Chain A
Amino acid sequence: MKIINSPFHFKGGIHPQYHKDLGDREAIRELPLPAKLTVPMSMHLGAPAKPVVKVGDIVKAGQLIAEAGGFISAPVHAPAAGRVKSIDQTVTAPGRSCQAIVIETSPEQEWELMPPIPDWGSADPKTLLERIGAAGVVGMGGAGFPTKVKLSPPPNKPIDTIILNGAECEPYLTGDNRMMVEHADHIAVGAQIMRRILGAEKLRVAIEDNKPDAIEAMAKAFEGVDGDVAVVRLHTVYPQGSEKHQIYAVTGREVPRGGLPMDAGCVVENVSTVYAIYDAVVNGRPLTRRVIEVTGEGVAHPANLMAPFGVSYAEMIEACGGYVGKPAKLISGGPMMGFAQANGDIPCGKTTGGILVLPPREVSNFTSQACISCGRCVDACPMRLIPSELSQLIEAEDIDGAANISLMDCVECGCCAWVCPAHRPLVQHFRRGKAIVNAKRAAERAKQQEAAKK
């Protein structure tokens, strides 16, 4: 198995402090089963899942409790055996509200698994794909895009390269690193299942060079795997884990504006997702849990926990010894792109990458100033935009003007705001601007459809 250095380097990006040493040596441990799980129906991109159980039903672990709500959607399975206590509304990490099935867990845990497919190497790719869909596997890197959809590109978009995203470029986060170190063999199997489905010829594992253990483990796991397989050692630079930038670093291809990775002949999957693919196919286990690291200087004992979906952030932090002093910020995900939470009463889900607690000294509290045109954001932007100009246009409510000069290309990575000496809330401006543009476009589409009906 060869290890190659990434042949291409994207322009821009930043070098934040990583703080990975808090949790990157902590072996993954199982979270003791909580008494209650609040399982959200929206743990993925697309339509929310539709509950198929009633209040009072007794469910087994792994049993289907909600079916996919559309083509771009995913089913949800019971993370633990117990009784359906209620079907309620809950708030999820990005701040949206959705339905949730509340399960009171029982002391005896009985699993209901799907039949394993041990001969995946010779199985029909369609069967494998159906299984991945039925197991509720979605992209666990953050976006939660249903994996079945991602693995079914239209025939006019041939895929020649599969990239396993093990960059984990967000500071603090260590879960993917631990998965690669501890489950390299299983991830390798998952990767081969993906290759069988897509028929792609190249398989690449992209890992930043600040994770030598993971690089070594993955290289070893792929030894003896036939075909064009390699671990790509990436430079440690944020946002190396961004799909578009990773594709560029590995293949030198740029995903066209407004396009998807498949437009560049690639499929990128996070390593935890690839593990879930393995688990679904080889063990018949649906996606009901994941590794979530609880980390940050505000947590007593940072740890990487294998946790069932539906456990609250507060319980996760409690399992790690609780807060140290008074926390300043509780973040779902990493410090660059994560969502700040007002309290710990939020359920973990398929896209919960990590729980980060920052003490006051790690939180910058500031007043923003006028842009001094220093151009640091321009140098830092990995999409090569002009963040300063965009933010000034949005401030002046010229949203169309901003959209005309590439507002919609922003990936919200936060590099611009991180470098800004005037502490301008650049990402906030862009999110607002993008939301307005999207709403406008949706309204126009609806109008056109209305007109078409008449």
Chain B
Amino acid sequence: MNPEVNPNLLMVSSSPHAHSGASVRRIMLDVLIALTPAFSAACWFFRLNALRLTATCVLTCLATEWVCRKLMKRENSLGDLSAAVTGVLLAFNLPPELPTWMAVAGSVFAIAIAKQVFGGLGYNPFNPALAGRVFMLISFTGAMTTWSRANWSYKLAAAAQDAATAATSAAGGLADALTTATPLGMAKAVLKSGQAIPGFQPSLFTDFFFGANLNGCVGETCSIALLAGAVYLLARKVISWHIPVAYLATVFVYAWVLKICCPGSALPPMAHLLSGGLFLGAFFMATDMVTSPITKKGMLVFGIGCGVITMLIRTSKTGAYPEGVSFAILIMNSLTPLINRATRNRVFGAKKA
């Protein structure tokens, strides 16, 4: 990079000669820092499984990135930490009991196919972690949708039991679904059976929020930990509020309208907001810079789109999947170039439209 220079001559370059000090590495490091509360929660709920999957995904992602860059004869890019972020996010999107080899396969797909084939960080049209997850969902459907109940604290379990009893009595014969499915999986099962959705006990919301006794992917169950990370990212200005707020607000409003229109067949808005991968998706996946729009206007459009598609998937009777966050974000990823083109700012001095 530095050719031999006549020592008497000074460095000449185009302005500006000052820089803020921001770097891609620092941004990725901030994302990793922001994911630590959720990682701690995951280790608490899922014990060694959380550690096993996270370590597997991160190491596989790093190794794949290194090999790809070597094969492509490009500069080593492990230093920008983006592969590590992809690894953590992918692990957070997997069921805790998933076999290790599947996690390896998903990680290789995420980095090699979804990222490096396109040229590496910055050129990938889809969020690599989500592309990896969807690849696994299609390839290992069974393992990717098998849930064991979380290793929760027994104190909180009692509250869940109450809700379970209430739900079972209402839904009748769906006790299995409740004990072995995610909340959204249960809701979908109820919906498909044509029965009414059971009422939720307030205590369950606190459980949702702390994720103590819910089934779900490794990193998605503890909303409060995810929220803490999100606050950090917002404070560090790594992400802006536009995508997550637009996303969450759309889901909430959609669920609220649904609740009013057909009260028997819809989960309460708060349950939609706090369950599934929504918080993880809204704050950490939809905000992926490379694959989301660059203008604030575009971000709002993107967030609303994610919200609508998520709810369409979650609440459709015909669809097979109980959760739609991954699909919604990937579909909106594909629209990002169009959104960017349609939402350019008005240039200073241009006529007001």
Question: Which residues from chain A sit less than 8 Å from chain B, CB to CB?
Answer: 10-11, 14, 16-17, 171, 244-245, 248, 254-257, 259, 327-331, 335-343, 356, 358, 362-367, 369-376, 378-379, 382-386, 388-389, 405-406, 409, 412, 414, 417-423, 425, 427-428, 431
Please encode chain B, from 24 to 47, with 1 for each CB lying within 8 Å of some chain A CB and 0 for all others: 101100000000000000000000
State the main secondary structure of chain B at its contact with A: loop
Cβ contact within 8 Å between B15 and A427: yes
Which of the 9-residue segments B6-14, B177-185, B209-217, B247-255 touches chain A? B6-14
Cβ contact within 8 Å between B19 and A418: yes
Cβ contact within 8 Å between A378 and B349: no
Cβ contact within 8 Å between B27 and A341: no
Cβ contact within 8 Å between A386 and B344: yes
- Apart from A14-B20, A335-B17, A365-B2: 10 A-B pairs, beta carbons within 8 A: A255-B349, A256-B350, A257-B347, A337-B15, A342-B12, A358-B17, A383-B348, A405-B344, A414-B18, A428-B13
Residues of the B chain whose Cβ atoms lie less than 8 Å from the Cβ of A363: 11, 17
Cβ contact within 8 Å between B10 and A406: no
Residues of the A chain whose Cβ atoms lie less than 8 Å from the Cβ of B120: 370
Q: Which 7 A-B pairs have the closest CB atoms?
A: A414-B16, A370-B122, A375-B294, A428-B14, A421-B22, A384-B345, A335-B18
Do A328 and B20 form a contact, CB below 8 Å, given A254-B349, A336-B15?
no
Bound Cα distance A374, B23 (Å): 11
Contact for B347 among A338, A379, A409, CB less than 8 A: A409
Residues of the A chain whose Cβ atoms lie less than 8 Å from the Cβ of B105: none
Question: Within 8 Å of chain A (Cβ to Cβ): is B338?
Answer: no
Do A256 and B349 form a contact, CB below 8 Å, given A338-B15, A373-B294, A376-B22?
yes
Question: Within 8 Å of chain A (Cβ to Cβ): is B263?
Answer: no
Residues of the B chain whose Cβ atoms lie less than 8 Å from the Cβ of A16: 18, 20
B215 to chain A, nearest CB (A): 34
A404 to chain B, nearest CB (A): 11
Residues of the A chain whose Cβ atoms lie less than 8 Å from the Cβ of B295: 375, 378, 386
Bound Cα distance A370, B299 (Å): 21
Interface size counted on chain B using CB atoms at 8 A? 45
Contact for B14 among A257, A384, A425, CB less than 8 A: A425
Contact for A386 among B13, B23, B290, B345, CB less than 8 A: B345
Cβ contact within 8 Å between A327 and B10: yes
Cβ contact within 8 Å between B22 and A373: no
Cβ contact within 8 Å between A342 and B347: no
Residues of the B chain whose Cβ atoms lie less than 8 Å from the Cβ of A365: 2, 11
Contacting A at CB under 8 A, from B40-94, are 80
Bound Cα distance A41, B186 (Å): 82
Bound Cα distance A339, B10 (Å): 12
Cβ contact within 8 Å between A385 and B347: yes
A90 to chain B, nearest CB (A): 17
Cβ contact within 8 Å between B348 and A409: yes
Cβ contact within 8 Å between B344 and A388: no
Residues of the A chain whose Cβ atoms lie less than 8 Å from the Cβ of B123: 370
Chain B: CB-nearest residue to A264: B349
Chain B: CB-nearest residue to A95: B12
Cβ contact within 8 Å between A418 and B20: yes
Cβ contact within 8 Å between B289 and A372: yes
Residues of the B chain whose Cβ atoms lie less than 8 Å from the Cβ of A358: 17
Contact for B10 among A330, A375, A420, CB less than 8 A: A330
B148 to chain A, nearest CB (A): 37
Cβ contact within 8 Å between B22 and A409: no
Chain A: CB-nearest residue to B22: A421
Bound Cα distance A422, B24 (Å): 6
Cβ contact within 8 Å between B16 and A340: no
Cβ contact within 8 Å between A341 and B289: no
Cβ contact within 8 Å between B23 and A421: yes
Cβ contact within 8 Å between B17 and A369: no
Cβ contact within 8 Å between A384 and B347: yes
Please encode chain B, from 323 to 353, with 1 for each CB lying within 8 Å of some chain A CB and 0 for all others: 0000000000000000010001111111100
Residues of the A chain whose Cβ atoms lie less than 8 Å from the Cβ of B14: 340, 425, 427-428, 431
Chain A: CB-nearest residue to B242: A375
Residues of the A chain whose Cβ atoms lie less than 8 Å from the Cβ of B19: 364, 366, 417-418, 423
Residues of the B chain whose Cβ atoms lie less than 8 Å from the Cβ of A385: 345, 347
Question: Within 8 Å of chain A (Cβ to Cβ): is B121?
Answer: yes
Chain A: CB-nearest residue to B299: A375
B174 to chain A, nearest CB (A): 44
Cβ contact within 8 Å between A378 and B10: no
Chain B: CB-nearest residue to A356: B17
Cβ contact within 8 Å between B348 and A10: yes
A18 to chain B, nearest CB (A): 10
